[in-house]
């Protein structure tokens, strides 16, 4: 027995893409006609139920930003944060289904956001909230043990490049206590009541095991990690650290980074770089 012939329905990719783009734009505007949307999208958006959908989408975006940037929200208050988040969301709909990844450039938005001009530290705090999210979502990796470095011969050590841990994020903030401000708002129950000292601070955010951790770093340690991330050998990383602070104890610095789980592996280069082989 044969059934009725199957009718295949196809959509022109260009037309479907235009409809999807128009639908996304309709979520961000109140007056669809003024926005110049395609008639089929404008008719859909004119239905009362669409306003409910629009509000639901906007609330979801704002709530996701609130969850991803708790330190920022605590600093500025709920009303200010949600107003700023709404402005951001109208120009930046989620690009991925997982909202834990939403708002990757929120720190940059805050840096250029006129109402935040007097809060010069706010973008830095947002950057550390983002570090926490990225460290949390990074792939699992066993940190490099100090013993693995200790076993290297002097010749191998000269040709070794350390690879930062997959979850490691770090930054140095010159002249502002961004790390302290972030920590007091991210972990309010453990905050101290000491007077805030306006000086430069650095931090490593990393997840060497199950939980995200943070360790304060000086400028030398941040410069050392920058060089490692660029694939430079230990000699170059050490030089970068000493350029940041001539008083740096290199052995102590490297041991501290390994102990914190900042290093995920090492590579022994084929030969010593020319600048160090002469």
**CA separation for the pair 89, 75 (Å, rounded):** 20
Domains held by the chain: number: 2
pLDDT below 50 — which residues of the chain? Answer: 1-12, 34, 275-278
Instruction: Please report whether residue 102 resides in a domain.
Output: yes
Shared-domain flag, residues 165 and 196: yes
Say yes or no: 111 and 158 in one domain: no
Supply the pLDDT for residue 107. Answer: 98
pTM, full prediction: 0.82
Q: Are residues 254 and 172 in the same domain?
A: yes
Identify the domain boundary among 87, 112, 135.
135
Same-domain status, 155 and 173: yes
Residues 66 and 177 occupy one common structural domain: no
Beta-carbon contacts of 72 under 8 Å, excluding residues fewer than 6 positions away, are 81, 106, 110, 122, 125, 126, 129, 185
At residue 148, the pLDDT reads 94
Is the same domain home to 166 and 70? no
pLDDT at 30 (0 to 100): 61
Q: Is residue 96 part of a domain?
A: yes
Is 122 in the same domain as 153?
A: no
Q: Is residue 221 within 8 Å of 201, Cβ to Cβ?
A: no
Q: Examine the domain organization and report whether 146 and 117 are in the same domain.
A: no
92 and 54 inside one domain: yes
Tell me which of 85, 119, 135 is where a domain ends: 135
Host domain of residue 94: 47-135
Q: Classify residue 159: in a domain, yes or no.
A: yes
Question: What are the tens digits of pLDDT across the range 160-219?
Answer: 999 999 999 999 999 999 999 999 999 988 767 788 899 999 999 999 999 999 999 999
Q: Which three-class secondary structure state does DSSP give residue 240?
A: helix
Summarize pLDDT for 223-238 with one digit per residue, the tens: 999 999 999 999 999 9
Q: Kindly tell me the sign of the dihedral angle through the C-alpha atoms of 254, 204, 272, 235.
A: negative
245's CB contacts (< 8 A; 6+ apart) are 218, 219, 220
Residues 116 and 215 in one domain: no
Q: Which of 109, 135, 161 is the last residue of a domain?
A: 135
Quick check: is 22 in a domain? no
Co-location of 153 and 268 in the same domain: yes
Q: What is the pLDDT of residue 56?
A: 79
């Amino acid at each position: 027995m044969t059934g009725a012939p199957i009718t295949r329905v196809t959509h022109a990719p260009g037309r479907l893409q235009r409809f999807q783009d128009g639908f996304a734009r309709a979520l961000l505007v109140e007056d669809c006609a003024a926005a110049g949307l395609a008639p089929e999208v404008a008719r859909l958006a004119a239905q009362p139920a669409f306003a409910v959908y629009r509000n639901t989408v906007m609330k979801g975006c704002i709530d996701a930003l609130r969850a991803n940037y708790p330190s920022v929200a605590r600093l500025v208050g709920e009303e200010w944060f949600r107003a700023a988040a709404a402005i951001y969301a109208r120009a930046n709909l989620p690009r991925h289904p997982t909202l834990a990844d939403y708002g990757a450039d929120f720190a940059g938005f805050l840096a250029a956001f006129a109402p935040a001009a007097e809060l010069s530290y706010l973008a830095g705090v947002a950057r550390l909230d983002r570090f926490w999210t990225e460290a949390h979502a990074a792939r699992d990796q066993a940190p490099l043990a100090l013993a693995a470095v200790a076993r290297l011969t002097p010749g191998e050590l000269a040709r070794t490049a350390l690879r930062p841990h997959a979850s490691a994020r770090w930054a140095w903030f010159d002249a502002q206590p961004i790390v302290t401000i972030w920590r007091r708002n991210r972990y309010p129950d453990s905050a101290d009541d000491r007077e805030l000292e306006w000086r430069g601070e650095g931090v490593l955010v990393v997840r060497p095991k199950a939980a995200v951790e943070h360790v304060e770093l000086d400028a030398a340690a941040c410069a050392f990690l920058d060089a490692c991330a660029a694939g430079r050998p230990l000699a170059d990383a050490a030089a970068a650290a000493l350029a940041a602070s001539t008083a740096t104890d290199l052995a102590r610095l490297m041991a501290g980074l390994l102990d914190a789980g900042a290093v995920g592996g090492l590579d022994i280069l084929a030969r010593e770089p020319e600048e160090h082989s002469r």
